[in-house]
């Protein structure tokens, strides 16, 4: 549905925001673009609705090169591509209702259409009672819901999220991401989400690209990229999210165990401990969720018993490093 | 008391007040009508904006700066031939309005441009991302969002126009400034000077308070 071919984007003569990116995003996918500030994420997402044009390379939406579109063609494309923003991008001088109605008015919808559609959109994002309020009277999460309702007004096929949860607290972030996941499921909406937070990618994305200095350093399924990061930039991003602390004072054998799927819910450690006589000390660990599956990642200290056999048994359950 | 105000001809004061208000009203209206589009144009042709145009923007900016850098009292005199062509006279309220508008519109346009630049960048992008035309962008987003700033700019411009009308009094425009100069300054009638100054102060104060209220009324952020 979305394809980038050798996309370069330079601002001025010197600074290249994107230095040759190839990417393919499928219909109905939740696709994450992760990277630090300045990695080129914002530029990349703005190429997809023509807010920015590539210096070279092609951006194809359903096979159409965005750069070749006329002004009218670009406007038509933009009604198929919704966008939400970190700072919401709402009209602060207009009510919630008028904000959501704006894309419809721009598209030339009749009064009756607007009167029918806006309340339905507000209900979908849980803001039915707030239509008459001004955005400044809402909480951050509610403001982003207004942004989402507004982005959905033209029935887009693609939703671009530009750091949409970065201004929100963790709980609100989870709620907004749940809403996005629901919309993805119910409407088959393709979502392209840029963020600098691994947690966001982990919670909702199917696939992810890691962007560093304008290049895609790693692309793949979230579970693969997250559990087996190859690029050092990816490893650094994950390490930050997990806040590893190395405990001091243990000098026996140490293994890192990664489990996913059903193995997370099996009493793996206690069973192996019984079988092999080896006890486990949990030095570091995390059990969590990757969109639709569970994962566990533990750093274990091994004490006594047959440690060789214990490690071999662990290998049968998950990956051991 | 009546001894001190013996020089004050209250009917003349009233007439001067009405003249000043007429000059202010007429020139403010025309200044906004002319300066608002000019300000929008300055903004739209600026860097990174929909009608980005370096030369056009540079030419507009030069014009605005030229007029703004000319002292108003000089502009008044330089404008006389043009004023006569436009309104048939260079005297009285009518004769004062063209130079007032030419003096104030570029100033107002700059303030409008600044107010437009302060509109949230994300908001502008969001509206563009909806497929808005530049016309939609201006009328549905930029102007409504910048309204408080534009009202504040109008207040500042109105106050500047009052001081301009006082100067216009020096070349025969009438109004409170004219009284202050002819009687207060040239004839040493301190009481006339005092009354006109108090009235001008009151007018400025009134405008400022009214302007601030309007700004507050339309600020939702």
Question: Is B131's CB within 8 Å of A85's CB?
Answer: no
- B133 inside 8 A of chain A by CB: yes
Tell whether B44 is covered by a domain.
yes
End-to-end CA distance of chain B: 51
Residue range of the domain that includes B105:
11-219
Residues 6+ apart with CB under 8 A from B156: B111, B211
**What's the gap in Å between the CA of B213 and the closest CA on chain A?**
16
**What's the gap in Å between the CA of B93 and the closest CA on chain A?**
38
Question: Is A92's CB within 8 Å of B145's CB?
Answer: yes
Helix (H) or strand (E) holding A165: none
Tell whether B207 is covered by a domain.
yes
Dihedral class, residue A220 (left if φ above 0, else alpha if ψ from -120 to 50, else beta): left
CATH number for position B172: 1.10.3720.10
Q: Distance (Å, rounded) from C-alpha B49 to C-alpha B52? A: 5
Tell whether B215 is covered by a domain.
yes
CB-CB neighbors (< 8 A) of A147 in chain B: 126
Q: What residues of chain A have any CB closer than 8 angstroms to a CB in chain B?
A: 49, 51, 74-79, 81-83, 85-94, 102-103, 105-107, 134-136, 147, 150, 154, 160
- Closest-CA residue of B relative to A72 is B131
The rounded Cα B8 to chain-centroid distance in angstroms is 30
Strand partners, A298: A257, A285
Tell whether B5 is covered by a domain.
no
Question: Is B129's CB within 8 Å of A92's CB?
Answer: no
B131-146 b/e with 16+ CB inside 10 Å = b? bbeeebbbebbbbbbb
Tell whether B2 is covered by a domain.
no
Tell whether B4 is covered by a domain.
no
**pLDDT per position as a tens digit, A199-226:** 899 899 999 999 998 999 999 999 888 8
Residue percentage of chain A with pLDDT more than 90: 58
Q: Which domains does chain A have, with CATH numbers?
A: 2-240 (3.40.50.300), 254-320 (3.30.70.260)
Question: Is A90's CB within 8 Å of B123's CB?
Answer: yes
Q: From first to last of its 221 residues, what are the pLDDT tens digits of chain B?
A: 456 777 878 888 899 999 999 999 999 999 999 999 999 999 999 998 989 999 999 999 999 999 989 999 899 999 999 999 999 888 888 999 999 999 999 999 999 999 999 999 899 999 999 999 999 999 999 999 999 999 999 999 999 999 999 888 888 888 888 888 888 778 888 888 889 889 999 999 999 999 999 999 999 87
Q: What is the 3-state secondary structure (H, E, C) of A233-272?
A: HHHHHHHHHHCCCCCCCCCCCEEEEEEEHHHHHCCHHHHH
Which member of B129, B133, B145 has the closest CB to residue A93?
A: B145
Crossing angle between the packed helical segments A307-317 and A268-276, to the nearest 10 degrees: 150
Q: How many domains does chain B have?
A: 1
Give me A53's structure tokens: 């044009």
Q: Are A83 and A160 in contact (CB under 8 A)?
A: yes
3-state secondary structure of B44: helix
Tell whether B1 is covered by a domain.
no
Question: Is B130's CB within 8 Å of A106's CB?
Answer: yes
**What's the gap in Å between the CA of B41 and the closest CA on chain A?**
20
Residues 6+ apart with CB under 8 A from A276: A305, A306, A307, A309, A310, A313
């Amino acid at each position: 549905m979305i394809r980038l071919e050798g996309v370069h984007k330079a601002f001025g003569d010197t600074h290249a925001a994107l230095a040759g990116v190839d990417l393919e995003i499928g219909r109905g996918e939740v696709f994450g673009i992760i990277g630090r500030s300045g990695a080129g994420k914002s530029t990349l997402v703005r190429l997809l609705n023509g807010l920015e044009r590539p210096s070279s390379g092609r951006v194809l939406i359903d096979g159409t090169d965005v750069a070749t579109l006329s002004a009218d063609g670009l406007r038509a494309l933009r009604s198929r591509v919704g966008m939400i923003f970190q700072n919401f991008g709402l009209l602060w001088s207009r009510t919630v209702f008028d904000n959501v109605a704006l894309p419809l008015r721009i598209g030339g919808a009749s009064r009756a259409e607007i009167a029918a559609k806006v309340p339905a959109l507000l209900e979908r994002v849980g803001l039915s009672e707030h239509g008459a309020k001004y955005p400044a009277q809402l909480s951050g999460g509610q403001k982003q819901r207004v942004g989402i309702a507004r982005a959905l007004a033209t029935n887009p096929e693609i939703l671009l999220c530009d750091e949409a949860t970065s201004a929100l607290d963790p709980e609100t972030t989870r709620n907004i991401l749940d809403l996005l996941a629901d919309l993805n499921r119910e409407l088959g909406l393709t979502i392209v989400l840029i963020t600098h937070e691994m947690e966001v990618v982990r919670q909702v994305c199917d696939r992810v690209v890691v962007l560093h200095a304008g290049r895609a350093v790693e692309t793949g399924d979230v579970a693969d990229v997250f559990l087996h990061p190859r690029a050092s930039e990816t490893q650094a991003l994950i390490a930050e999210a997990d806040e590893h602390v190395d405990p001091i004072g243990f000098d026996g054998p140490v293994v890192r165990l990664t489990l996913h799927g059903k193995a997370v819910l099996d009493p793996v450690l206690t069973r192996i401990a019984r079988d092999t006589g080896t006890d486990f000390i949990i030095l570091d660990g995390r059990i969590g969720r990757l969109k639709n599956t569970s994962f566990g990642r533990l750093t274990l200290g091994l004490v006594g018993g047959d440690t060789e056999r214990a490690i071999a048994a662990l290998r049968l359950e998950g990956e051991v490093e | 008391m009546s001894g001190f105000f013996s020089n004050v001809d209250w009917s003349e004061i009233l007439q001067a007040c009405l003249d000043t208000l007429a000059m202010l009203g007429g020139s403010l209206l025309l200044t906004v009508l002319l300066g608002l589009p000019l300000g929008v144009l300055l903004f739209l042709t600026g860097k990174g904006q929909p009608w980005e145009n370096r030369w056009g923007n540079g030419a507009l900016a030069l014009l605005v700066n030229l007029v703004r850098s000319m002292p108003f009292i000089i502009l008044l005199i330089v404008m006389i031939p043009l004023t006569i062509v436009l309104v048939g006279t260079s005297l009285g309220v009518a004769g004062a309005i063209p130079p007032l508008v030419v003096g104030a519109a570029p100033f107002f346009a700059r303030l409008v441009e600044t107010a437009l630049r302060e509109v949230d960048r994300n908001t502008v992008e969001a509206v563009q991302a909806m497929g808005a035309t530049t016309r939609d962008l201006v009328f549905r987003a930029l102007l409504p969002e910048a309204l408080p700033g534009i009202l504040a700019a109008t207040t500042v411009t109105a106050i500047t126009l009052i001081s301009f009308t006082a100067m216009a009094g020096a070349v025969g425009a009438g109004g409170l400034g004219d009284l202050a100069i002819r009687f207060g300054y040239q004839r040493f009638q301190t009481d006339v000077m005092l009354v006109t100054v108090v009235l001008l102060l009151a007018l400025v104060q009134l405008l400022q308070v009214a302007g601030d209220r309007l700004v507050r009324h339309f600020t939702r952020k």
